[in-house]
Amino acid sequence: TGKGIISEKLDKYTLNFDTTSFFQVNTLQAENLFKYAASLVDGAKSILELYSGVGSLTCYLADKCEHVTSIEEWRSAVKMAERNLKLNNLGERVNTLCGKSEELIEDLELRNYDAVVLDPPRDGCNRAVLNAIKDMNINKIVYVSCNPATLARDCKILAGFNYKLKSLRAFDMFPQTAHVETVAMLEKF
């Protein structure tokens, strides 16, 4: 019953999402994760964010740079992201695109981004996404992962494209379980 919309407060941001969209349930730790991930792109003017969901991390990124292009394939989540960005007065800084990252990123290959932020589902990034990042020659990658195995796989692929793992930090989202969220930062060498 009700409106089917849940509202959470992370730091200064109010975020709404519906029951079909993903949202971190450990909001205190999500705040720490998002602050940390955004700190890794501090100083970037233009950021490409893939697998952006309802815009939780997008809000933190938009506060750190001039422009974010966010891509999410779940239409309901994109609508919520647009609503959340407007609600938090960040809509002018973000261009939201609805579609699969591996399909839309090809249209962005001629654009210049200082960093790319990835937060893929458990199965990691589509290989076409990693290939496009290589072709775009983006210097910095921030990769948020809920699956250490696919993070390792994707980092190995990126290492083959001359990216070096510079930092790795785990966030215990579900205490007393084996599950963590990890934030990796890679740079082109």
Catalytic residue among 59, 125, 146, 155: 146
H helices present in 69-117, as ranges: 75-87, 101-104
Dihedral sign from CA coordinates of 187, 31, 123, 112: negative
Cβ proximity of 184 and 143 under 8 Å: yes
**What's the rounded Cα separation, in Å, for the pair 122 and 147?**
6
Question: For the chain, what is the radius of gyration of the CA atoms?
Answer: 16
Is 146 a residue of the active site?
yes
The residues facing 68 across adjacent strands are 47, 94
Residue 136 and residue 130: Cα distance in Å, rounded? 10
Q: Return d(Cα 13, Cα 120) in angstroms, integer.
A: 22
Structural tokens at position 11: 């730091």
Active-site amino acid positions:
146
